[in-house]
Amino acid sequence: MRIVDLTTFLSGPSATQLLGDLGADVIKVESLDGDSSRAIVGPTVLGESAYFLANNRNKRSIAIDLKSPRGLEVLKRLIAGADVVFENFRPGVTARLGIEPQTVLAEHPGLVWASISGFGQEGELRDRPAYDMVVQALSGVMSLNGHPGAPAARLGIPAGDVVAGLYAVIGVLAALRQRSETGRGQIIDVSMLRGQLAMLSYQALYTHLNGVAPAPQGAGHDSIATYRSFRGGDGRELVVTANTPRMWQGLCRVLGVPELIEDPRYVDAASRLRNKESLWAILEARFAERPASDWVDALAEASVPVALVKNVLEALNDAHDAGDGSLVVVANEAASFENVATPIRFVGSAPVPPTYPPTLGADTVDVLVSELGFSETEVESMIADRVVVASPLAEPVA
């Protein structure tokens, strides 16, 4: 399965990396300056931005000047042999480049074309630029994050980008399945804003039925009083999700307050929610008597869902120590780093070995000569005229 990846930054690259992890041949088409995420400020490996490295393994890179006629011809030849094209340009850019998807599909009816944009291909917002925090804000997601009385807070992960990428992959896989029966591809339009609205889940229906916008969720839950975080005596936080009567009873017994089980104020879920403030005060006082890890051990023993609130470093260290494939080492001759792996597992099948994210134009010559049929002389001319850029690529470590 060949994917032509015209995407930059995060929503598209995260999607095409997932497909590469699943075994697709992903050819990343970059400008002569490269994906702008290569220059994001932050940690680097051999001068390459960690932001870029996190989302571009299992890909090949060719660098083309798409504004030149010769560069456009290279891209069109590449698309002609592809199964899927991914792009996250603003609406209208593909038409200006000369690769408007309806026209391309008329020539290649079996092609699947996936477009990711901030607000979709239609509508009054279509031409606005959008990044992750913009769609978190417009969708209501930011209003739910953080604590009551505090300013709205963005999620600390790029949910707007990653969720759009996941929905795009789902759409592509569905379109490929349909193509296997009809022989025809189609155009997929994924909006980052629509992806965030979909993430509202039950909160969207709650709001519709109540006619009132929910408050920031803080450490709790709108429907379950015993679904929240607490602080242990050592200052560390833990979360408890005692959703069922059995879990509620187990929580009371472990905390040494069995009398709450029959207390009329807390006898059922509705009563606990109605009287949550007084209940929280009792539970918080009990949790403060022992270190958080003690409570975690005791509650887990009683089959009450519980966990310490860990920071990202702790979570990654745990994943490393578990050795369960949650992390993957990506390496070439010059460098290596450990990153989060695709979480999908096929039981009985080995995962696709990760290849190091490509340097800019690392595969330009190979793709143009070996796969697109250009002669070496033609490629040399294109390099000299800066129609394309080529650079060497270190071989992956076995």
| pLDDT tens digit sequence for 164-219 | 999 999 999 999 999 999 999 999 999 999 999 999 999 999 999 999 999 999 99
Mean pLDDT of the chain: 96
**Binning pLDDT at 50, 70 and 90, where does residue 391 land?**
confident
Strands 227-231 and 388-389, bridge-based pairing: unpaired
Long-range contacts of 42-47, Cβ-Cβ distance < 8 Å, separation of 24 or more:
45/335, 45/337, 46/334, 46/335
Contacts of 185 by beta carbon, 8 Å cutoff, 6+ apart: 105, 108, 109, 110, 111, 112, 113, 175, 179
pLDDT digits (tens, 9 = 90+) for 210-254: 999 999 999 999 999 999 999 999 999 999 999 999 999 999 999
pLDDT computed for residue 398 by the predictor? 32
Q: Is the pLDDT of residue 261 over 60?
A: yes
Q: Which uninterrupted H or E stretch holds 4?
A: strand 2-5
Name the β-bridge partners of 257.
none
Helix runs in the chain, H state only: 11-21, 50-53, 69-80, 93-97, 101-107, 132-139, 141-144, 159-182, 192-199, 202-210, 245-254, 269-274, 276-287, 292-301, 312-322, 364-366, 376-384
Residues with catalytic annotation?
161
How does strand 227-231 pair with strand 44-45? unpaired
The answer to whether residue 94 scores a pLDDT higher than 70 is yes
> Secondary structure of 217-280 in the HEC alphabet?
CCCCCCCCCCEEEEECCCCCEEEEECCCHHHHHHHHHHCCCHHHHCCCCCCCHHHHHHCHHHHH
Q: Kindly tell me if the per-residue pLDDT of 393 is higher than 90.
A: no
Does 98 have pLDDT greater than 50? yes
Extract the tokens encoding 65.
């000047």
H or E element in which residue 86 lies = strand 84-87
Q: Are 121 and 194 in contact (CB under 8 A)?
A: no
Q: pTM (2 decimals)?
A: 0.94
Q: Which of 375, 356, 355 is nearest to 365 (CA)?
A: 375
* Contact between 9 and 90 (Cβ < 8 Å): no
User: Torsions phi, psi of 3, nearest 5?
Assistant: -115, 125
Backbone angles phi, psi at 117, to 5 degrees: -145, 170
Structural domains for the chain: 2-199+325-389 (3.40.50.10540), 227-309 (3.30.1540.10)
* The pLDDT value given to residue 370: 96
